[in-house]
Amino acid sequence: MPMTIRFVRFATPRTMTADAYREFCWGVSLPETPTGYGLLCGHDDAGQLGTAVLDDVEYARLLTHSGGVEVPTEKVVAVLDDWPNLHAEATSVWD
């Protein structure tokens, strides 16, 4: 899905509580890893929200400072239909 990236977030053991990270991984059917995942949150041409999940956190970190970059499909390990809620006060990642 071609997507305009609005912002980049991170789902990692360092940026989330253990329970929230475990819930995120469970919700996207991905294994827990020591480095976690980079999340490219954006929308398609029709305005539909979506999140591309990358297993290369450092590559995702580079994208926070880049605009108009096309992400190679081999970097994307999952695509979500919405944006996960990663705010510390959230009761669930999927609120």
pLDDT at 64: 79
pLDDT in tens, 7-53: 899 999 998 889 889 988 998 899 999 999 999 988 888 888 989 99
* pTM for this entry: 0.84
What does the H/E/C string look like for 39-93? Answer: EEEEECCCCCEEEEEECCHHHHHHHCCCCCCCCCHHHEEEEECCCCCCCCCCCCC
pLDDT at 90: 67
Share of the chain above pLDDT 70, in %: 89
Kindly state whether residue 88 falls inside one of the protein's structural domains.
no
Domain count, the chain: 1
> Which residue range forms the structural domain that includes residue 73?
4-80
Kindly state whether residue 75 falls inside one of the protein's structural domains.
yes
Kindly state whether residue 93 falls inside one of the protein's structural domains.
no
Kindly state whether residue 76 falls inside one of the protein's structural domains.
yes
pLDDT at 95: 62
pLDDT at 1: 56
Kindly state whether residue 51 falls inside one of the protein's structural domains.
yes
Kindly state whether residue 11 falls inside one of the protein's structural domains.
yes
Kindly state whether residue 89 falls inside one of the protein's structural domains.
no
